[in-house]
């Protein structure tokens, strides 16, 4: 085991990805930033000064406090508090956790759907391919955000009132994944059509390896490079869509706010001078999406054989 671990370490050090990362300062910064954001978000119950969901911890005496560096600021409310005395920093940490989790879940769901449909369409071709790709075309011709609003609205109408808030995260994930799978399916379909005709696949077909095994063990690993790039960029996009939906009021409820919900709530106080309630969650959202996109751009260049 020790030998394989050592060789894994060497393989990472020798890999072209590592080599290109060492020369890409922006990607290094973005990765560090994203790691810090992710760790702090998921460690929120341990490091946040306050539990923003626990109404007992809120104190109206501490409401509307500006950030700590202003004259009226007070510790430990580093980024100030909202009108109910909720610590903005804590709300951001908890909110980032919700946003990141929904982003990740929707990427995983859409990837699972997109990879399987793309593999099947590309490998078998014919009618299956035509039907799947026309569905994809239709989905692509409607704006993503419109579909997402439609789906969340319909789901919320169908569900009993009690379940609406508890299931809102699941609804959001499904709504985002419903359009996001198309990109993976198209990418994988295209690479599958190339790989399908390659001789190593023919060699496997000759000895009657089942089609499902050819797709999973031979073709899929060779189509993953562009998928990783798409997944990274879509992670940022998914977080943005979730924030938009929550901002519009069809996303996460105020009892379990995501960054988008925080921005929507804070937006109401922007012109009463309580700028910190909206600016800091918005800045966090911007940082996350920026970091993810920088990493995605770097991956796209690093994994593109034509740019090497």
Partner 1 sequence: MADTLLAVDGLTRVFDVSAPWLNRVLEGRPRQLLRAVDDVSFSITAGQTVSLVGESGCGKSTVARLVVGLHAPSAGEIRLIRPDLRLQMIFQDPYASLNPRWRVRSIVAEPIRTLGLRSDEAAIRARVDELLGIVGLGASDGDKYPHEFSGGQRQRISIARALASEPEFLVCDEPTSALDVSVQAQILNLMKKLQRELGLTYLFISHDLSVVRHVSDVVAVMYLGRIVEEAPVETLFRRPLHPYTRLLLDTIPDLEAPRRDRTPMGGEVPSPIDPPKGCTFHPRCPLASERCRHERPELAARADAGRVACHAVEEGRHK
Select from 112-120, 205-213, 253-261, 291-299 the region that touches partner 1 (CB under 8 A).
205-213
C-beta separation of 37 from 89 below 8 A = no
Instruction: Compute the least distance from the CB of residue 217 to partner 1, in Å.
Output: 8
- Output 18 or 200, the one with its CB closest to partner 1: 200
Which element (helix H / strand E) includes 138? helix 126-141
Instruction: Compute the least distance from the CB of residue 31 to partner 1, in Å.
Output: 25
The reply to whether 203 sits near partner 1 by the rule CB under 8 A is yes
Number of residues that bind partner 1 (CB under 8 A): 14
- Output 204 or 270, the one with its CB closest to partner 1: 204
Instruction: Compute the least distance from the CB of residue 119 to partner 1, in Å.
Output: 15
- Find, among 165, 144, 308, the residue nearest to 242 by Cα: 144
Please state, in angstroms and rounded to a whole number, the distance separating the CA atoms of residues 183 and 136: 9
Q: CA angle 132-133-135, nearest 5°?
A: 65
The reply to whether 138 sits near partner 1 by the rule CB under 8 A is no
Please state, in angstroms and rounded to a whole number, the distance separating the CA atoms of residues 78 and 56: 20
Instruction: Compute the least distance from the CB of residue 296 to partner 1, in Å.
Output: 23
The reply to whether 9 sits near partner 1 by the rule CB under 8 A is no
The reply to whether 164 sits near partner 1 by the rule CB under 8 A is no
Residue from 1, 2, 71, 207 in contact with partner 1 (CB under 8 A): 207
- Output 77 or 123, the one with its CB closest to partner 1: 123
- Spacing of C-alpha 236 from chain mean position: 5
The reply to whether 200 sits near partner 1 by the rule CB under 8 A is yes
Instruction: Compute the least distance from the CB of residue 205 to partner 1, in Å.
Output: 6
For 142, half-sphere exposure in the C-beta direction (CA atoms, 13 angstrom radius) is 16
Please state, in angstroms and rounded to a whole number, the distance separating the CA atoms of residues 128 and 117: 9
Which element (helix H / strand E) includes 193? helix 168-196
Residues from 62 through 91 that contact partner 1 (CB under 8 A): none
- Output 70 or 130, the one with its CB closest to partner 1: 130
The reply to whether 204 sits near partner 1 by the rule CB under 8 A is yes
Q: CA angle 216-218-222, nearest 5°?
A: 100
Residue from 97, 186, 189, 218 in contact with partner 1 (CB under 8 A): 218
- Find, among 93, 98, 99, the residue nearest to 49 by Cα: 93
- Find, among 189, 183, 192, the residue nearest to 234 by Cα: 183
- Residues forming contacts to partner 1 in the complex (CB under 8 A) are 198-200, 202-209, 218, 221-222
């Amino acid at each position: 085991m020790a030998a394989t671990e050592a060789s894994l370490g060497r393989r990472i050090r020798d890999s072209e990805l590592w080599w290109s990362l060492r020369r890409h300062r922006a990607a290094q910064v973005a990765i560090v930033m994203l790691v810090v954001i992710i760790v702090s978000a998921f460690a929120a119950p341990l490091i946040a000064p306050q539990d923003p969901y626990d109404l007992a911890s809120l104190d109206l005496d501490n409401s509307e406090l500006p950030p700590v560096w202003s004259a009226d600021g007070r510790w430990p409310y580093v980024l100030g508090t909202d009108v109910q005395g909720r610590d903005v920093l804590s709300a951001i940490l908890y909110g980032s956790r919700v946003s990141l989790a929904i982003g990740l879940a929707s990427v995983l769901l859409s990837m699972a759907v997109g990879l399987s449909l793309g593999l099947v369409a590309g490998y078998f071709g014919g009618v299956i391919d035509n039907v799947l790709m026309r569905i994809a075309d239709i989905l692509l011709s409607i704006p993503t955000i419109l579909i997402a609003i439609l789906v969340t609205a319909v789901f919320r109408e169908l569900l009993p009132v009690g379940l609406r808030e508890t299931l809102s995260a699941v609804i959001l994930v499904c709504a985002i994944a419903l359009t996001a799978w198309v990109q993976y399916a198209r990418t994988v379909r295209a690479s599958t059509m190339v790989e399908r005709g390659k001789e190593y696949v023919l060699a496997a077909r000759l000895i009657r390896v089942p089609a499902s095994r050819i797709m999973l063990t031979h073709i899929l690993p060779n189509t993953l490079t562009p998928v990783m790039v798409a997944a990274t960029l879509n992670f940022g996009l998914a977080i943005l869509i979730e924030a938009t939906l929550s901002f519009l009021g069809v996303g996460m409820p105020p009892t379990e706010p995501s960054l988008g919900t925080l921005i929507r709530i804070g937006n109401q106080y922007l012109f009463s001078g309580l700028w910190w309630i909206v600016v800091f969650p918005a800045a966090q959202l911007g940082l996350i999406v920026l970091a993810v996109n920088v990493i995605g751009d770097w991956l796209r260049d690093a994994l593109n054989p034509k740019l090497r």
